[in-house]
Amino acid sequence: MKIRDTSLVKKKFGFANYSVFNSNSGYNELHLTITPNSYNLNESFERIIFDYENVLKKENLSKDSLFFSRIHFDNEDMDVKLITDFIKKFSLKPCSVIQQPPLTGKICFYSWHIYSKKEKIFHLTDNNEVFIQGKNYDLLFNSGIKSKKNNVYLQTKDIFNQFNKRLKNRKMNFNNNFVRSWIYVADIDENYESMVKARKDFFYKQGLKNFFPASTGIGCLSSDNSYVNADFFSVNRIKKEQIVPISSRLMPKPTLYGVTFERGLEIIFGDRKHIYISGTASIGKKGEVLYPDNVEKQTKVIVKNIKDLLLSCNSSLNDIAQMNVYLRNKDDYERVKKIIDVEFLKNTPYLILQGAVCRKDWLVEIDAIAIKSIKSKFPVLL
């Protein structure tokens, strides 16, 4: 199939920013964030519902186009029924619900849609997973996996065991198909090391030693005894040569201090590539924290690091379809937002959230998903 050049278009409606990737292959993507600026919970939900319905209508999409969604909320005075009703109204399954306060209001929303104007794509849902079986690839998203074990190490191990079983149920392999994770850790200053050790032990047991998924490990809140909560993305029927680790000249390679994730991964399809940028902080070439007391300088270092990661795979900030900005201190919101709004294209979908980074001196972290139009020898998505 001949594929023409495509582009990522950034759009806005109300409090919604969204990016649309259209491909001549017929399989398109939309990434959307909605960030109401109200601290009234009912008003916030009404605005999310209004904007979401209108974006779907403007883009001529049904709610069945949804591949994955995530809600971030401030747990103070939260009415769980409002979240439950919202999830039910739009059939948001799976939907990851994270107690991670947005710094724009009480609640914010992210969704990823994969769709075709030519044919129906079947999104098969089962509890906390969605599965798309395409002509060339299968896509799997597992969301909100938790554990009832009694400590962080055992919870993390159990979560990865649960995920591994789900992979096997879909005829996937942990080593060949797992490409991206988001791991939320309550009281991260105390619990991060235990999570990292459990993840490392599990990965090594699976035979992962020199190549790892992209990942974000970030702080969250918790109202129960669940210290760890994770989302996972996997791709089936893909060749190893289509999954390419990317690195920056400005940051250490993961093996330098034993972290079991790649700085980023490039997933190459016939008509596009997905670039998954792991949680990126103000880190130097030797793994040191740069500018520990200055959030603005840290943010600028992160932007520079992400630019270099993208440059390594012939991409740029313009290709970012969605990103998350995590702040340790909510009072830094305005200073960081000004930099983000200058550095990134207008209407780029992003969320700014209160989430502690894994080292106390890191005040900010950013992760991202980029999509770039290409032509390659591999089959197109889907």
Q: What is the pLDDT of residues 175-185, one digit of tens each?
A: 999 999 999 99
The secondary structure of 230-241 as a DSSP string is: EEEEEEES--GG
Report pLDDT digits (tens) over 15-39: 999 999 999 899 999 999 999 998 8
Interatomic CA distance for residues 193 and 124, integer angstroms: 35
In a domain, 322, yes or no: yes
The secondary element (H helix, E strand) that includes residue 215 is: strand 214-220
Check: CB of residue 96 under 8 Å from CB of residue 69.
yes
Instruction: Name the residue range of residue 29's domain.
Output: 8-373
pLDDT band for position 125 (cuts 50, 70, 90): confident
Closest C-alpha to 354, from 323, 321, 332 = 332
Which sign does the torsion angle of CA 365, 371, 377, 380 carry? positive
Residue 1 pLDDT > 50, yes or no?
A: no
CA atoms within 13 Å, Cβ hemisphere of 313: 28
CA atoms within 13 A on the CB side of 1: 17
Contact by Cβ (8 Å): 369, 29: no
What is the mean predicted confidence (pLDDT) over 331-358?
A: 96
For 72-122, the pLDDT digits (tens) are 998 765 677 888 888 888 888 779 999 999 999 889 999 999 999 888 898
Say which CATH number the domain at 211 has: 3.30.1330.40
Instruction: Give me the pLDDT at residue 6, please.
Output: 52
Asked if residue 272 has pLDDT above 90, the reply is yes
Q: Contact 114/142 with Cβ under 8 angstroms?
A: no
| CA torsion, ordered 276, 281, 286, 292, to nearest 10 deg | 180
Inter-residue contact 301 to 282 (CB < 8 Å): yes
pLDDT tens, 134-185?
Answer: 999 999 999 999 999 999 999 999 999 999 999 999 999 999 999 999 999 9
Structure tokens given for 200: 């490392």
C-beta neighbour count of 290 within 10 angstroms:
19
Please state the domain count of the chain: 1
- Each residue's pLDDT tens digit, 43-83: 998 999 999 999 999 999 998 999 999 999 987 656 778 88
Does residue 378 lie within any of the structural domains?
no
By CB atoms closer than 10 A (0-12, 13-18, 19+), residue 5 is: exposed
Report yes or no on 59 lying in a domain. yes
What digits encode the pLDDT tens for the residues 294-311? 999 999 999 999 999 999
Report yes or no: 129 and 166 within 8 Å, Cβ to Cβ: yes
Of 40, 5, 53, 52, the C-alpha closest to 25 is 5
pLDDT at position 127 is 78
> Residue 3 domain-assigned?
no
Query: Residue 2 domain-assigned?
Result: no
Residues whose CB falls within 8 Å of the CB of residue 244, separated by 6 or more in sequence, listed in order: 265, 266, 267, 268, 313
Does 380 map to a domain? no
The token pair that represents 345 in the structure block: 């294209």
So what's the pLDDT on residue 3? Answer: 44
CB 323 within 8 A of CB 348: yes
Burial of 4 (0-12, 13-18, 19+ CB in 10 A): exposed
**Strand-pair partners of 30:** 20, 113
Distance of CA 375 to the CA centre of its chain: 25
Alpha helices by DSSP H, listed for 116-254, are 152-169, 174-177, 188-206
What is the tens place of the pLDDT at every residue in 205-259?
999 887 899 999 999 988 677 899 999 999 999 999 999 999 888 887 765 556 7
Going by pLDDT thresholds of 50, 70 and 90, the confidence category of residue 40 is confident
Q: Does residue 38 lie in a domain region?
A: yes
Contact 362, 218 (CB under 8 A): no
> How far does Cα 57 stand from its chain's mean position?
25
Asked whether residue 220 is assigned to any structural domain, the reply reads yes
